[in-house]
Amino acid sequence: MKRSRNLWTADAEEVFVRLWQQKVDDLRGPRKNSHVYQEMAAEMQMQGYDVNSSSVKIKIDNLTAKYRKAKAGMGTTGGSPASWHSFEQVHQIIGGFSINNVEELIEESFEDSMSSSPTNISPLSPSLPQLSFISTSVRIGRGNTSSSSSYLAL
């Protein structure tokens, strides 16, 4: 039998976020996380909340996605602070991980590409055919166009 969707109250979410903060190191460890989700669900149940391990995993996934969306909305300059009440707590939990800092990853990638030595690209062998790029557009009607691109051996 399928379990009904878990509705999280603001109080339950606050308790959950504090528990998540306590367990974040276990979740980042080398082992699978199902045992941590079960521990978190058991702790929530002891506090009177009706959750199971799968709802714990889903909640972590949802809060992580919500954090990333709010962080992206702030832009690279920091923008206006997120209006989401749990943003700062979730930021303390996962904000330091590079996967959640897209701007930092882009900057690091750019710096890495600039500091590495240029790649030597040898010219095409005379035995290989030269390729020419061809792009065409066809009007389908009412302003809609269809584009097609291909390479043609010369």
As a whole number of angstroms, the distance between CA 82 and CA 59 comes to 19
The pLDDT of residue 50 is 93
- How many C-beta atoms surround the C-beta of residue 6 within 10 A? 15
98, pLDDT greater than 60: no
Q: Is the pTM of this model over 0.75?
A: no
Give me the pLDDT at residue 71, please: 83
Q: What is the pLDDT of residues 22-75, one digit of tens each?
A: 999 899 888 899 999 999 999 999 999 999 999 999 999 999 999 888 888 776
- Per-residue pLDDT, 101: 55
Residue 153 has pLDDT above 60, yes or no: no
